[in-house]
Structure 1
């Protein structure tokens, strides 16, 4: 039964073209670790009494992303979360501790976890209008912030799920300042678009030097992994505010999770050891080249493709349900959603176009 199920999933995975996950990976050499119970319980920076963990690998992975996001290892605290929702929750949690009366702002096209986080933390939440490209409207943000006069906690989305839009982090800070609000915390939800913002041409502001107070990047998207994961980075001073010394099996408690995934740090460390910064940049460049090919081919097929400038998401005229299902295409306001991840090749794009046009004739 399991073999049949695996074969079925592998076959269906060949046409994964609509969701922001990367299927181009091979972690076979790490198989022996599946026979162990590894647990990164407690602080990523301290050994716990349990002892069977991968914290040195977690520290190496977070150090890579601290450097990538322009942070300092002396002032930034990071760990691996189970996915983007937990990472966003942690960021908003520490932001709320800094500003207990803060109001949570995010664009209407931000990740669906944001309203849920506001409800969990019992915070007021404002969904801000977007412009024609799906980017947070800064004039609307300024009006919303100024109209309340409370500290602003803003989730800036770097690569929205629907359109791949990138919110303007420096502009967010200017909008708050112009509205007369100086108490501002900006979280960069770069789960999808962080590497694209860093290595695309031109580079887009997304990181600590650009005005972010915290940053999250998913491990299962551009890098690729069989398990969902996210790196969350916050300023050390904000982590200090929620840290409880010595209560988590002999180590500090400075994460949301108690028992924490110890396999994902190994997976990401293994991938990043092979990729490095240059390899990650090359992977982004290839994705963008294939995205350009997809736009041309879909246009030739008369499918009216649109693309956020410099992004790897293409929206086009929605084909029938059978094609949508077979290719795992997301429906975004009645349009089909193609997400060009590292495993998506020009050949795969050509196959998709051929099937769409074949079904239409």
Structure 2
């Protein structure tokens, strides 16, 4: 985490102010609005853009799809359940689970999410998206939204945003970009091009606690047209009476939360202390370290890379030749458990195409290539012992290194 943000967290807690209305948080409101303008500018959303800070990427995704849903059914007759029956959301097969959760929460059911196939780099296939949209139209369903991911959880894959936006526009549907993980690319001078097309989004999810190095929570939802917030605005006489709408910039008009922390302050202090360029450089360091880790995995005969490294995650497995798939699955789970029991490393796991894999997620820019090499060395050592049926606990532990091991 960025040290200025950690200090700011203490101030936020001490102030204990709530971002409800202008009279409760005048200064905080101005700072949050300034940061929303800054973020919308980085994304290229235009002069009519707006946004709100949220508790996290899941809430941002839910709110974006709620706004899309309410816009889609506005003016239709009948009870809400009937108006929702034929709505569909299109997202890649590797999209975040919160998209299906949102569909369930919004009364659509998680089966309303159509999983679009991905390519070899685990990016949503734009041609398959177009085919799915056309098929849905032929079947008599209505497309509610297209969700593109800028940084999938496992592979850091960035869907083809420009092509996905074009498909969404062709069918007149809401285009949402879930950039919770990949939002750090907005600050990167070297890799900003990976997000080309994000400027066409109707809404964007950002999660600053991931790639802007902020304490949890520090997230935001951006929208291209501030008028779309009207689809979720509610008025309460004791809080933001309708008769006074527009008289003051009440942030509760745009939020699903009422009581809400001044989390924008942490990002504000970080940017005032370090600047956007420094944040982008730190994110670039993560990408370089992950890329080096991917090359190391490729160079090892007993390690198998699941997909090209794209952001700061490396998905791989220990795969001795001649070992069956199920036995390899069990071996990788055993390697992970053995590393944890030894205290040498905490390595995540995931399943890719039904097969168990190990995963490194690098989010600390102080992690070095040597740190990652030490973890991979430990994977190889524990894997070799377990493959022979030996007990890794009986072998000497690998020497510890500084950082990047937990």
More helix by share: 2
Give the TM-score, by structure 1 length.
0.82
TM-score by length of 2: 0.73
Residue 400 of structure 2 corresponds to none
Residue equivalent to 1:346: 369
| Cα distance change of structure 1 residues 312 and 56 upon mapping to structure 2, 3 Å threshold | same
Sort the Cα spacing of 1:317 and 1:61 in 2 relative to 1 into closer, same or farther, 3 A. Answer: same
State the shift of 1:82 in Å: 0.1
Deviations 1:226-266 (A, max 9, x none): 3133111012121133333565724452211111121x211
Query: C-alpha separation between the residues in 1 aligned to 2:213 and 2:16?
Result: 22
> Residues 248 and 350 of structure 1: is their aligned pair in 2 closer, same or farther, counting only changes over 3 Å?
farther
Q: Partner residue of 1:162? A: 154
Cα separation, 2, equivalents of 1:84 and 1:248: 30
State the match for 2:79 in structure 1.
none
* In structure 2, distance between residues paired with 1:28 and 1:197: 22
Shift of residue 309, structure 1, vs aligned partner? 5.5
> Equivalent residue for 2:397?
none
Rounded Cα–Cα distance in structure 1 between residues aligned with 2:173 and 2:281: 35
List aligned pairs for 1:38-57, cutoff 5 A.
Answer: 38-42=17-21, 47-48=22-23, 50-51=24-25, 54-57=28-31
CA distance in 2, matches of 1:269, 1:332: 38
CA deviation after TM superposition for structure 1 residue 134, in Å: 1.2
Tell me if 1:183 matches 2:148: no
Counterpart Cα distance in 1 of 2:36 and 2:371: 33
The answer to whether the Cα contact below 8 Å between 1:196 and 1:311 also exists between their aligned partners in 2 is: no
Query: Are the counterparts in 2 of residues 207 and 215 from structure 1 also a CA contact under 8 Å?
Result: no
Equivalent pair of 2:347/2:360 in contact (CA under 8 Å): no
After superposition, the Cα gap between the structure-2 partners of 1:267 and 1:286, relative to the gap in structure 1 and judged at 3 Å, is same
Q: Which residue of 1 aligns with 2:357?
A: 335
2:121 counterpart SS class = coil
1:99 equivalent among 63, 69, 72: 72
Contact 2:294–2:308 (Cα < 8 Å) also in 1? no
How many pairs are equivalent?
328
Inter-partner Cα distance in structure 2 for 1:238 and 1:286? 37
TM-align CA RMSD: 2.6
**Which of 122, 126, 135 is the matching residue for 2:114?**
126
Structure 2: runs of 5+ lacking an equivalent: 74-83, 241-249, 319-331, 385-406
Partners of 1:248 and 1:163 in 2: how far apart? 47
Match of 1:71 among 22, 31, 45: 45
Partner deviation per Cα, 1:83-131 (whole Å, 9 max, x = no partner)? 0010001111111122226421111110000111001112232222222
Alpha carbons 2:146, 2:168 under 8 Å: kept = no
Are 2:129 and 1:141 equivalent residues in the alignment?
yes
2:233 to 235, 240, 243: 243
Structure 1 residue aligned with 2:61, among 79, 83, 88?
88
Q: Is the 8 A contact 1:94 1:242 kept in 2?
A: yes
Partner of 1:323: 339
For 2:197 and 2:272, locate their aligned partners in 1 and report how far apart those are by CA, in whole Å.
22
- SS of 2:193 mapped into structure 1: coil
Query: Closer, same or farther in 2 for the Cα pair 1:289/1:244, shift >3 Å?
Result: same
Which of 15, 19, 36 pairs up with 1:36? 15
Ranked by relative contact order (alpha carbons within 8 Å, sequence separation 6 or more), the top structure is 1
Structure 1 residue aligned with 2:322:
none
Question: Cα 1:267–1:240, aligned 2, differ >3 Å: closer, same or farther?
Answer: same
In 2, are the aligned partners of 1:188 and 1:206 still within 8 Å (CA)?
no
